[in-house]
Amino acid sequence: MKVLWLSSANTLCFEKGDRAYNGKGWIASLQNAVTEYAPEIELGVAFLSNEDSEAILRDGITYYKILRKSPKGLRKLRSNWTGGAAEEYGDRVKEIVGDFRPDIVQVFGCETKLAPAAAHIDGIPVVAHIQGILSEYVGCFFPKDTCKADMVTRRTFFNEIILNNGFRHLFDDYVLRSAKEREFLRSLKYAMGRTDWDREAVSRYSGAEYFHVDEALRDDFTAAAGRWTPGERSAEGVRIASTISPVPYKGVDVILKASAALSSMGVRHIWNVAGISAGSDIVEIYEKKTGLNAERCGVRFCGVMEPDALAAMLLESDVYVHPAYIENSPNSVCEAQMLGMPVVAAASGGVPSLIRDGDTGVLVPVGDHESTARSIATLAAEPQKAAALGRNAAAAAAARHDPKKIASELTAVYRRILSDHLK
């Protein structure tokens, strides 16, 4: 069975300048699972790249680099202000399909720039692996007490107002791409995903048949499965960890407010946030918006971390917190659970499919920094409860993210789609 994957980011093909943070996460882990446990699948991977290439055969996988058509320099500035021309990859994808001759094409993300190209592939079934549905994210992009005007500070003025290249532009880009996403979903016959939320969201925009396939996690976290244990309280107090990206809906404001609330409750703590750098615009924006200084609140922004360093930081922490206003199936929550950490998370999007409240973690209302702070304080004061949550989470995550099971699920979906297609 020949399967071609279309991915916006590199998976495991070497490319100079490739960033592991974006390109070698769960899709690469899924590729490893398929390679090890589904030998009947001959895999091709086509991905957006800084260069184009003919077929590259490496370790039994056929790779195709697709040159990005993103504008640069003055063309990018003009595009930011005008909306620009759509990046069209249809011809290149058809060329790759003609060369690889797959039985099935799988596109990762209905919102990605390769999805429209996949919609026009003739004679071969296409399945979309749902990542995040922008049509659902748009309404939560800015927290309810935040607007576009809040994105402009003294430091962000040039980027936001002159270049139109900040969060206001990103929101507009989400709106434009969500319209294309809905068009793609209407044309889609097959979809796969991981949560009740994405199943329901797909049904709102598409008549596609939906299949459940869990996601594979990075090796650094599966190798350390269940290793978290309650540690002795450090001199800094409770050690809190989060992994989020620098966009408004990920909950930087919740972290700052919850950290301040912990301080007012007399809970000494340090809150390490991976994925965001201390000098980033999102920190400046929400320090101004909340009137809170991250450093004085005990919040440290650690930047993007390599998987081994991130796993080590989590294992040294007392609780993991995920504050996002909207999510599908956040890898970071799954990774913390895999390690056996007690997790406090906002009950947004697909997160309730990952956490059974009070059993494999703690769910709090979306955007509620006070509930978040109280939950952290409770777990810090009750280490036995925290340890029980962590053990249950580790068991649930180990079953959910078992690569052999996932490869079997994926293979079964491919066979079901091929059977339906050949009727």
- Residues of the chain with pLDDT > 70, as a percent, come to 95
* Alpha carbon distance 392, 201 (integer Å): 28
User: What's residue 422's pLDDT?
Assistant: 84
Report the candidate in 84, 128, 137 with the shortest Cα–Cα distance to residue 350.
137
Please count the structural domains in the chain: 2
For 167-283, list the strands marked E by DSSP.
190-193, 209-212, 238-243, 269-274
User: What's residue 192's pLDDT?
Assistant: 96
Does 365 score more than 80 pLDDT? yes
User: What's residue 69's pLDDT?
Assistant: 81
Two tokens at 233?
Answer: 């309280």
Start-end of H helices in 83-195: 90-100, 115-119, 134-137, 157, 167-187
Does 391 score more than 90 pLDDT? yes
One-character DSSP codes across 229-251: -PPPPBTTBEEEEEE--SSGGG-
Do 357 and 413 share a domain, yes or no? no
Q: What is the pLDDT of residues 127-151, one digit of tens each?
A: 999 998 999 999 999 998 899 999 9
Q: What is the pLDDT of residues 146-200, one digit of tens each?
A: 999 999 999 999 999 998 889 999 999 999 999 999 999 999 999 999 999 999 9
349 phi, psi to nearest 5 deg: 50, -125
User: What's residue 15's pLDDT?
Assistant: 65
Supply the DSSP symbol for 373: H
Locate tokens 């091709």: which residue? 44
Average pLDDT over residues 247-253: 97
Q: Are 24 and 11 in contact (CB under 8 A)?
A: yes
Do 190 and 139 share a domain, yes or no? yes
Do 313 and 248 share a domain, yes or no? yes
Do 191 and 203 share a domain, yes or no? yes
Q: What is the pLDDT of residues 26-36, one digit of tens each?
A: 899 999 999 99
User: What's residue 419's pLDDT?
Assistant: 94
* Alpha carbon distance 259, 267 (integer Å): 9
Confidence of residue 22 (pLDDT cuts 50, 70, 90): very low
Average pLDDT over residues 314-331: 96
* Alpha carbon distance 284, 276 (integer Å): 12
Confidence of residue 347 (pLDDT cuts 50, 70, 90): very high
Do 232 and 153 share a domain, yes or no? no
For residues 281, 283, 284, 288, the Cα torsion angle rounded to the nearest 10 degrees is 140
Do 130 and 279 share a domain, yes or no? no
Domain that holds residue 201: 2-216+402-421
Does 225 score more than 70 pLDDT? yes
Handedness of CA 377, 252, 305, 338 (dihedral sign): positive
Does 120 score more than 90 pLDDT? no
Do 342 and 409 share a domain, yes or no? no
CATH of the domain at 269: 3.40.50.2000
User: What's residue 235's pLDDT?
Assistant: 73
Q: What is the pLDDT of residues 268-310, one digit of tens each?
A: 999 999 999 998 999 999 999 999 999 999 999 999 999 999 9
Confidence of residue 23 (pLDDT cuts 50, 70, 90): very low
Q: Are 93 and 114 in contact (CB under 8 A)?
A: yes
Q: Are 358 and 286 in contact (CB under 8 A)?
A: no
Do 245 and 380 share a domain, yes or no? yes
Do 108 and 178 share a domain, yes or no? yes
Q: Are 135 and 181 in contact (CB under 8 A)?
A: yes
Do 107 and 199 share a domain, yes or no? yes
User: What's residue 233's pLDDT?
Assistant: 65
Locate tokens 């050690």: which residue? 239
Does 20 score more than 70 pLDDT? no
User: What's residue 231's pLDDT?
Assistant: 78
Average pLDDT over residues 321-344: 96
Do 232 and 109 share a domain, yes or no? no
Q: What is the mean pLDDT of the chain?
A: 92
Q: Which residue did the predictor score with more confidence, 76 or 47?
A: 47
Q: Are 98 and 77 in contact (CB under 8 A)?
A: no
Confidence of residue 21 (pLDDT cuts 50, 70, 90): very low
Look at the pTM and tell me if it is higher than 0.85: yes
* Alpha carbon distance 308, 118 (integer Å): 35
Average pLDDT over residues 57-83: 82
Do 335 and 205 share a domain, yes or no? no
